[in-house]
Structure 1
């Protein structure tokens, strides 16, 4: 312990970031520090408490048992302190601030046009990027503050992150108007006899229809696989293939692509959208403002 007998809270925050990311390099990026600065902070903390906190293992680092116990005890307290400080800071939309939001295609189609038309944003800018293909990248983006918020149909069940369901949708089938065999309804026999344009969801790596039906689907005749729901609508409009998408996307582009919107001949589960964010930002006025804005946008798009 130092001569004053007091620990520097900044050292504890740096320790927790290294502990959480298991990397001095990633922690330095997250904290906006240099790697030597993070290493020096860890060294000072270890000297103050008189024990090693990390050991080298291959090219990375592994926390000692002392580090694990320290993190368990101090993380809730530091989160409370950071939240209390955050609530004292006022948010002003007349001061420039850029938010970055990770979204799936359906959320992007809903929100981006509303943001562009919003005259109440002041000097606030909102940038949208697609959600990463895997959950680890998504969590790292939120943890390292490369993104402020994410909106997706999946949500991580991991400590340190918060989620809120923001919208319900449902899965439907689309086919072109004037289809030679389909007009208004479709049964299971027709479903399996037609060729399909499929959409493989980014993080689950499953086709949409397989993910949102209650029973496993049999093998289908696949004509094309898309990574864009709008591209799927365009392909179906120009062929006799069929495909599955959310009702919002189907209704939004039905007239533009001359599509029929049909009920699936299977029992489905709801298509639910979630907001996802890191707990450390939960009480920050700027982040509360952002979440409230997103809820307003989604409500107005219903």
Structure 2
């Protein structure tokens, strides 16, 4: 077994490792680290010698991590995050001076309705902070990502389960029913007979989790026809505008897409319970003033669309 002398190990090599993992390129990693390409290549050779593994091999689309590199990723991220928090513990967070990257996991609602307001605020108050929107991790990987610091915040309709994860209801999201304007509906509430007759466009995620719309209708022994199942919210109004199908959008998104696609907005024909939107983070990072600041900005952005 290869033995590593931790007393003489250069921790800077771990930062190079993470950048190589993220960029899959010596050239791009050198740009991110403000180092020369030979310096990054030399660091990679030293790291290979230290751990006794190639770590990255050349592939068609760039560097490909080995199995050993995959094993190292989470503990390396976690270790560097802990070191960073320890070094920053005595410092006061000043948004206007901060240089930081945050990864926020969220779906369409987050990207279309919440992120624009959030990023606008961050750009004004903390221009050195980069917001990266990433997919919501599935299953236990959500807990693992938060614990390791690979994701800072998860915004989703379900909680992230796991020891140490904080889940907070950020908002309760209602629905608005949309249909093309040529239907000439004048009433604020959508007519139930048309709602049950005209095909609907539904999003795959809601179909898989069980839509509040279908659950409420089923409780009344009613069922709506489904005309299309899509992967993203933005497809729903686009299809509705071409077909006359019905779509139900989160109320915070509805006005933008109604104007964009020429649709009329209405209250649903029945009272559907609002769906919770949760903010999740890990308690390991609660001492991080920058994260506390970000959570507050997220809460404010969510409040504008709830």
TM-score by length of 1: 0.65
**2-structure distance, mates of 1:300, 1:87:** 32
Contact preservation (8 Å) 1:163, 1:277 = yes
1:90 is aligned to 92
2:176 aligned to 172, 183, 189, which one? 172
**Which whole-Å deviations, capped at 9, do the CAs of 1:116-170 have from their partners, x for residues lacking one?**
43321131111112323x3323222212221100111211344320022222321
Confirm or deny that 1:253 pairs with 2:253: no
1:40 is aligned to none
- Helix, strand or coil at the partner of 1:119: helix
2:267 aligned to 263, 266, 269, which one? 263
Count of residues paired in the alignment: 231
**1-structure distance, mates of 2:227, 2:201:** 6
Contact preservation (8 Å) 1:246, 1:271 = no
1:124 aligned to 124, 129, 151, which one? 129
TM-score by length of 2: 0.65
2:109 aligned to 78, 102, 106, which one? 106
1:276 aligned to 257, 276, 280, which one? 280
Confirm or deny that 1:31 pairs with 2:75: yes
**2-structure distance, mates of 1:283, 1:212:** 42
Gap regions ≥5 residues in structure 1: 1-23, 34-78
Contact preservation (8 Å) 2:164, 2:282 = yes
- Helix, strand or coil at the partner of 1:174: strand
1:142 is aligned to 146
> In angstroms, what is the RMSD of aligned CA positions?
3.3
1:126-275 matches, cutoff 5 A:
126-132=131-137, 134-179=138-183, 182-184=185-187, 185-201=189-205, 205-207=209-211, 209-210=213-214, 215=219, 218-275=222-279
